[in-house]
């Protein structure tokens, strides 16, 4: 008689967001100081009215970065910045980070110095303190885990669940460039592997490559919103792509959304580069991740305030849940938007 095999469900059947929902569905909260647990850009902890915001992320060599074209100093910078971006997305100010690193013996002390130089540069640029961490070894590759800690004010923290029909959808900066920067570096890598004598010329593609290799957290936007006394109704940072991240806001707020293709900010260099790759620029903006711009919604009454602020674009409107997530194309059609999430598995 054959023995019963235990059931095996592949992680790919769940996908990223499904897996997180599944693993965290039974969590109990024991402490009254825990205001917000799993499910936003960051957790929120109350210290007698003084709020601490905490976010954490892990980056794995070969999954999230390729050291063939990602300089270690830039990698250190990006590892910090991508976490600070989560704190900004709560409308909070990042203050501290902890860093855990696992490395194989392939890496030298000098390589670690480069990585840490990048992390320190990010800490200096954002006035954040590296307060702790762990350094350990791995059998293969480099793994970086960063936890960012920020400070928020009770009436100003912004969650993913506050959007309501009629709110305007706003996007900072421009989208799609980081994704195209990655495509470009991947192509140069393939060319180099075929012929190591070919020197890549990335000079003309500074914007896209720079957005991928040295992203910034939009801390400046948090300051600008604060000065304008404008508190968004919902906010998230665009790390997975506009579609995915807007889907998170819609799902948690119980609303729908319509995005105007003409309202999605795309840099002119990004448009040209997309065409070189035979890609539709709007698709790069909707589904390419790692731009670390902010996506937020504001009450209609704040529309005049937003028009005066630099580098913020109105890209659509929150609708009733039943209307779903739609894209209104420049050709006048309405398409469904699909959130892709990561597909590492």
User: Does 156 sit near a copy of itself (CB under 8 A)?
Assistant: no
Quote the least distance from Cβ 89 to a copy of itself, whole Å: 13
Which of 108, 262, 268, 330 is the binder for a copy of itself (CB under 8 A)?
108
Q: Which helix (H) or strand (E) holds 73?
A: helix 72-88
Secondary structure class of 103 (helix, strand, coil):
strand
Q: How many other CB atoms are found less than 10 A from the CB of residue 144?
A: 24
Q: Would you count residue 79 as binding a copy of itself (CB under 8 A)?
A: no
Q: How far is CA 255 from CA 237, 248, 297, 322, 323, in A?
A: 18, 10, 12, 8, 8
Collapsing DSSP states into helix, strand and coil, what is residue 296?
strand
Query: Min. distance of Cβ 32 from a copy of itself in angstroms?
Result: 10
Of 10, 155, 201, 203, the one binding a copy of itself (CB under 8 A) is 10
The token duo for 164 is 């309501």
Per CB under 8 A, the segment of 93-101, 155-163, 230-238, 251-259 that binds a copy of itself is: 93-101
Helices 109-126 and 72-88, interaxial angle, to 10°? 30
Q: Whose Cβ is closer to a copy of itself: residue 104's or residue 330's?
A: 104
Return the residues of window 117-136 that contact a copy of itself according to CB under 8 A.
120, 123-124, 127-136
How many binding residues for a copy of itself (CB under 8 A)? 86
Could you give the string, one character per residue 17-46, with x where binding to a copy of itself holds by CB under 8 A and - elsewhere? --xx-xxx-xxxxxx-xx-xxx---xx-x-
Q: Is the dihedral of CA 163, 168, 174, 176 positive or negative?
A: positive
Sole window of 137-145, 178-186, 317-325, 327-335 interacting with a copy of itself (rule: CB under 8 A): 137-145
* CB-nearer residue toward a copy of itself: 59 or 228: 59
Q: Which is nearer to a copy of itself, 30 or 307 (CB)?
A: 30
Angstrom distance (rounded) from CA 230 to CA 313? 15
Cα–Cα distance measured from residue 227 to residue 216, given in angstroms and rounded to the nearest whole number: 20
Residue placing its CB nearer to a copy of itself in the complex, 123 or 306: 123
Kindly tell me which of 29 and 198 has the beta carbon lying closer to a copy of itself: 29
Residue 86 neighbours by CB under 8 Å, 6+ apart? 41, 42, 55, 57, 148, 237
- Of the ranges 94-102, 169-177, 198-206, 209-217, which one interacts with a copy of itself (CB under 8 A)? 94-102
Show contacts with a copy of itself in window 167-206 (CB under 8 A): none
Retrieve residue 42's tokens: 């960051």
Which of 5/278 has CB closer to a copy of itself?
5
Q: Name residues contacting a copy of itself, limited to 325-344 (CB under 8 A).
A: 342, 344
User: In whole angstroms, what is the distance from residue 30 CA to residue 94 CA?
Assistant: 26
Q: Which residue lies nearer to a copy of itself by CB, 120 or 328?
A: 120
User: Is 48 a residue that touches a copy of itself (CB under 8 A)?
Assistant: yes
State how far the Cα of 7 lies from the Cα of 30, in Å rounded to an integer: 32
Strands 256-260 and 143-152: unpaired
Burial of 83 (0-12, 13-18, 19+ CB in 10 A): buried
List Cβ neighbours of 149 (8 Å cut-off, separation of 6 or more): 52, 53, 54, 87, 94, 95, 96, 97, 98
User: Residues 1, 4, 5, 105: which binds a copy of itself (CB under 8 A)?
Assistant: 105
x-or-dash pattern for a copy of itself, window 54-73, by CB under 8 A? Answer: xxxxxxxxxxx---------
């Amino acid at each position: 008689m054959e023995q019963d095999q235990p059931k095996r469900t592949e992680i790919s059947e769940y996908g990223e967001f499904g897996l997180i929902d599944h693993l965290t569905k039974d969590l109990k909260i024991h402490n009254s100081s825990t205001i917000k647990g799993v499910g936003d850009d960051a957790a929120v902890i109350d210290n007698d009215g003084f709020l601490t915001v905490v976010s954490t992320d892990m980056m794995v060599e070969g999954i999230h970065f390729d050291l063939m074209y990602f300089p270690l100093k830039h990698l250190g910078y990006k590892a910090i910045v991508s976490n600070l971006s989560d704190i900004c997305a709560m409308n909070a100010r990042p203050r501290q980070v902890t860093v855990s690193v696992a490395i194989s013996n392939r890496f030298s002390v000098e390589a670690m110095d480069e990585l840490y130089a990048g992390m320190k540069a990010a800490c200096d640029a954002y006035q954040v303190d590296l307060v702790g961490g762990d350094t350990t070894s791995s059998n293969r590759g480099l793994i970086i885990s960063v936890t960012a800690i920020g400070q928020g004010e009770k009436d100003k923290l912004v969650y993913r669940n506050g959007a309501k029909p009629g709110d305007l959808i706003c996007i900072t900066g421009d989208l799609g460039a980081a994704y195209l920067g990655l495509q470009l570096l991947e192509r140069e890598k393939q060319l180099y592997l075929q012929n190591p004598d070919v020197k890549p010329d990335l000079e003309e593609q500074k914007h896209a490559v720079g957005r991928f290799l040295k992203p910034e957290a939009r801390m400046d936007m948090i300051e600008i919103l604060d000065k304008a006394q404008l508190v968004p109704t919902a906010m998230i940072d665009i790390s997975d792509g506009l579609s995915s991240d807007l889907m998170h806001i819609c799902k948690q707020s119980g609303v729908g959304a319509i995005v105007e293709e003409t309202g999605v900010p795309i840099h002119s260099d990004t448009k040209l580069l997309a065409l070189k790759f035979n890609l539709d620029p709007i698709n790069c903006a909707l589904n390419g991740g790692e731009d670390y711009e902010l996506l937020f919604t504001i009450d209609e009454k704040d529309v005049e305030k937003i028009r005066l602020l630099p580098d913020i674009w109105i890209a659509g409107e929150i609708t009733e849940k039943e209307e779903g997530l739609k894209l209104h194309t420049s050709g006048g059609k309405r398409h469904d938007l699909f959130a892709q999430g990561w597909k590492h598995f």
